[in-house]
Chain A
Amino acid sequence: MFINLIVVKMGRKVNVSAYIDLEDLERLEDLSRETGESISSIICRAVKEFLEKKMKPIEEAKA
């Protein structure tokens, strides 16, 4: 994996650069057409869902 590091803080969000391979990009473009979301929004949602799913059992255990 070869990635350029660009991190820009924009209000309540941080822009992180990610270098996407052509293969992944094609799948993302298909998904973007299906959902009407931008590619960066899809990636952001994937990250958010993953982290929330991962943190849920830990937070439940704490509660």
Chain B
Amino acid sequence: MSTVKKVPIEKIRTGNFRVRTSFDEEKLQMLTDSIKRQGLLYPIVVKPLEDGTYELIAGERRLLAAKRAGLKEVPVIERKGVSKDYEIIEMGIENLQREDLSYYERGRWVAKMKGLGWTVSALAEETGIPRKTLENWLGFYEESERVKKVAIMATPEKLPLAGLLEVKRAPIPDEKKAELAVEVSKMPEPPSVTEIQRATRLIEQEPTLPAKEALEMARGITVLVPIPVDLMPKLKAQADEWGVSIQEAIIQILRDYLE
């Protein structure tokens, strides 16, 4: 049963397990400013304890910002009589909806649930998150320390999951993978998966190439070129003669043309 009420902020404490391990300072400041202007619009979720205090289930970021904004009381939803497992599921779901939660933190949450006896399939059914996605997150958490750094830096907001998988499986040194993840996280526009593939291949060919430079070189666009049907066999013959694909032949012709 859930009820909404206001409770003193100092009575709320965080539990032992936290989904988030870090907060984006800029976003936290924006939320603090918003709370100062409009108050805390969405209640945080807590569990009442026997000693009259409350344990936080979901909304750590909001709680932290509310403290910074100087609120004495905050609106809460009380969760009574829920099991520890469901508390952690709720913590996870609240945070997983945010694009800025890193893949590492996601994987850590899945690992925690597994430790509580949940299978990935059961968790997928309970949360509605595809099993493959949960397995991928868990994979990042269980990776070697160096690759783990990549997953700590990367969030869905900055790097699509498919892009992170490209980085992970690329035949480049782990330190280059971490460097690539750092550079991607700094980019104002997240690169496409194709651009990430290009960047990793450039590094594979030239291992000393800085990741930043590789990402810049990998930037480009896909253009649809309307080729008359009667020219296609000739273009195909030309591509075969050069031993390249039709698309590569087009680029080769274009470069000669632009010279």
| A10 close to B257 (CB less than 8 A) | no
Q: What chain A residues lie within 8 Å of B250 (beta carbons)?
A: 16, 18, 43, 47
Q: In whole Å, how far is B250's beta carbon from the nearest beta carbon of chain A?
A: 5
Q: Which range holds the interface residue count of chain A?
A: 35 or more
How many contacting A-B pairs (Cβ < 8 A)?
123
Any A CB within 8 A of the CB of B82: no
Any A CB within 8 A of the CB of B41: no
Q: In whole Å, how far is A30's beta carbon from the nearest beta carbon of chain B?
A: 10
Any A CB within 8 A of the CB of B246: yes
Specify the main secondary structure of chain B where it touches its partner.
helix
| B238 close to A51 (CB less than 8 A) | yes
Chain A 40-54 interface 0/1 with B at a Cβ cutoff of 8 Å (1 = within): 110110111111001
Q: What chain A residues lie within 8 Å of B258 (beta carbons)?
A: 24, 27-28, 31, 46
| A15 close to B245 (CB less than 8 A) | no
- Known: A24-B255, A51-B234, A54-B238. Is A9-B229 also a contact (CB below 8 A)? yes
A-B contact pairs, 30 of them (CB 8 A): A1-B248, A3-B245, A3-B247, A4-B194, A9-B229, A10-B226, A13-B227, A13-B229, A14-B226, A14-B227, A14-B229, A15-B226, A16-B224, A16-B227, A16-B247, A16-B250, A17-B247, A19-B220, A19-B223, A19-B251, A21-B217, A22-B220, A24-B251, A28-B258, A40-B225, A43-B250, A44-B227, A50-B253, A50-B257, A51-B235
